[in-house]
Structure 1
Amino acid sequence: MRASGDRVLRVRAQLTDRDQLLLDWLADHRVLTTFQISHALFGSLDFAQRRLLRLHRLALVDRFRPLRPGGGSFPWHYVLDQLGAEFVAASRGEPPPRRGTTVDGLRRIATSRTLDHDLGVNQFFTDLAGYARTRTEARLERWWSAQRCAQPGAFRTALISKVRPDGHGVFAQDGRRVAFFLEHDSGGERHRVLLKKLTGYAAHVAEGGPAWPVLFWLPTAARERHLHQLLAQARLGVPVATAARDSIDDETSPAEAVWLVHGDSDAPRRLIDLAGLGDPAPDDDEP
């Protein structure tokens, strides 16, 4: 039987479902580190490294490794290479990107001033995916990027939403589902700026958008306390919950009981326990 001359068709037989999910994630979320990929999809760092090396040799993914300011280097950062971009485009019925477009995109990712922030957002969602990977009762059903959220009609047909979250997700556990907006805070913005973002969410709801909980993923407990003080003085149009990363050890997932709900004196809640705070999660992957 004659082998196909098309390289997308040739590589298709070498890809697993997990490989294809990874390529989709890189297309949507731009960059993931070795550790993020391993935790979310593999569980074994050694196996993840070997599989990523294989995908790199197939020219499906490319990678770069920034240097640490104090010496040494960060883990490999993986992005889509040209063949990977062509494969994803074909699977979505989209025209293939030009080589120059892909190269320019890779350079922008590697030199972006928002790289640390983008990786922080992706860490949140890969932590959820890793949590769900080892629990049959849990699943990350939706992970949308900031770019996907900004598309007209993303949350309701004909609605041009004013919200610009860092991400949006739907998480399921124990027979329940919760939809949420994520605001990943790196600590560089004033608290008033964080509070102002809620004005956009209130307008979003007023215009018919879903009132899902807004999660502020904050760097420190001190910053979290200050934000709650400001929230107490504001009129909010959406449920708000916060968690501080310096209060959570590396083994704790954002799916666990780390969320403080504004206006609630109870103990921290699990992510799935926020399901009753706002509108129900959508029934499918379309708004």
Structure 2
Amino acid sequence: MSDQVLRAQSTLTVRDHVLLGWLADHGVLTTPQIAHALFPSLDFAQRRLRRLLEVGVVDRFRPLKTDGGSYPYHYVLDQLGAEITAVHRDQPPPRPSQTKARRRRWTVARVLQHRIGVNQFFTDLAGYARTHPDHDLRRWWSESRCGDVGVFAGPDSSVELQTGPAPIRPDGHGIWHAADLQVPFFLEYDTGTEPLTELVRKLDGYHRMVRYGGPRWPVLFWLHSADRAHHLHQRLAEQTQWAPVATASRDHATRAAVGPAGPLWWLHGHHGLLTLADLAVALPYLQHADHMPDAFGRPFAAYRRSEPPKG
């Protein structure tokens, strides 16, 4: 371990390490996202971020708006922060060229917009949990982590495997705890630019995974508008649903001044809006040991060639 890494580590708090880990996993976070998720105030967050910038563990950039002005600062890992995170995870440190390429990738507007939107969903949950002691975002996995082979394997997936990629590619995966309730979920973040047929098509992988022993956790569509949610549910009524689907819209969230933890979720086939935690009540099987996250994770190179389990 280099002297520079040792010196930097001596200045970092537990919260700093959480932030560096998030940046390593999720690429880029804005000042307001970091402040809401981890700090008691925006001023406190800004002071600490300036200090981390001086130490050299993070870097930042500020995109310009097309109609004038600029967005808030966007924070990414610098090389020193990437090396420190690698040390904590017992991983080989990335080469400087890799870290630089990763930083530059987030300056591409289309890629950045989608990632910031996904990260906003999870930092909203983390911020809610920070101010509500009986709630907790127990897991936040990125799209790339979800794509690793084997992470959502069923207990019987070792039978007749055929090689291939993971069956799903969600924008994220999380586990939300509220008191004694637990909701593992997959997130599909919608920008409003894809046709509804594409959103429905994304469900094919989830349905297939469930049929072959994978987790039957709810798929959350965080949609562009309430009107889009209505039309999506009309499409879903025409499909056989193996995996539960719930929708919520960002325009509704804005009007109601609540985040994704709140009573926004329309579970397909269920009447009335639910909080995220309420999904555990509407889907009581989620509390059964067979559906807990620990029940999955054996190598799932692809699917069994045999027929899916019945029931």
> TM-score, normalised on structure 2?
0.87
User: d(CA) in 1 for partners of 2:33 and 2:266?
Assistant: 25
The answer (yes or no) to whether the contact 1:161–1:209 under 8 Å persists in 2 is no
Q: Percent identity?
A: 53
Quote the residue 1:282 is aligned against.
Answer: 293
Moved more, 210-219 or 270-279: 270-279
Q: CA deviation at 1:182?
A: 0.3
User: d(CA) in 2 for partners of 1:220 and 1:166?
Assistant: 18
Q: CA deviation at 1:111?
A: 2.1
The answer (yes or no) to whether the contact 1:170–1:281 under 8 Å persists in 2 is no
Q: CA deviation at 1:224?
A: 0.7
Quote the residue 2:270 is aligned against.
Answer: 264
**2:72 is equivalent to residue 72 of structure 1:** no
Q: CA deviation at 1:5?
A: 5.9
**2:149 is equivalent to residue 152 of structure 1:** yes
**2:135 is equivalent to residue 138 of structure 1:** yes
**In 2 relative to 1, CA 85–5 (structure 1 residues): closer, same or farther, beyond 3 Å?**
closer
Query: How many equivalent pairs are there?
Result: 283
Q: What letter matches 1:256 in structure 2?
A: G
Q: Matched residue of 1:271: which SS?
A: coil
Q: What letter matches 2:189 in structure 1?
A: H
* Structure-to-structure mapping, 1:64-103, within 5 angstroms: 64-103=61-100
Q: What letter matches 2:52 in structure 1?
A: L
User: d(CA) in 2 for partners of 1:5 and 1:137?
Assistant: 41
The answer (yes or no) to whether the contact 1:183–1:217 under 8 Å persists in 2 is yes
Q: What letter matches 2:45 in structure 1?
A: A
* Structure-to-structure mapping, 1:170-249, within 5 angstroms: 170-249=175-254
Which segments of structure 1 move beyond 6 Å, counting only runs of 4 or more? 284-287
Q: Matched residue of 2:254: which SS?
A: coil
User: d(CA) in 1 for partners of 2:242 and 2:89?
Assistant: 36
Q: Matched residue of 2:76: which SS?
A: strand
The answer (yes or no) to whether the contact 1:23–1:80 under 8 Å persists in 2 is yes
Q: Matched residue of 2:106: which SS?
A: helix
Q: Matched residue of 2:133: which SS?
A: coil
**2:48 is equivalent to residue 51 of structure 1:** yes
User: d(CA) in 2 for partners of 1:206 and 1:194?
Assistant: 19
The answer (yes or no) to whether the contact 1:40–1:130 under 8 Å persists in 2 is yes
Q: What letter matches 1:252 in structure 2?
A: V
Quote the residue 1:252 is aligned against.
Answer: 258
The answer (yes or no) to whether the contact 1:31–1:119 under 8 Å persists in 2 is yes
The answer (yes or no) to whether the contact 1:142–1:285 under 8 Å persists in 2 is no
Stretches of structure 1 that go unaligned for 5 or more consecutive residues are none
Q: Matched residue of 1:156: which SS?
A: coil
> TM-score, normalised on structure 1?
0.94
Q: CA deviation at 1:112?
A: 5.2
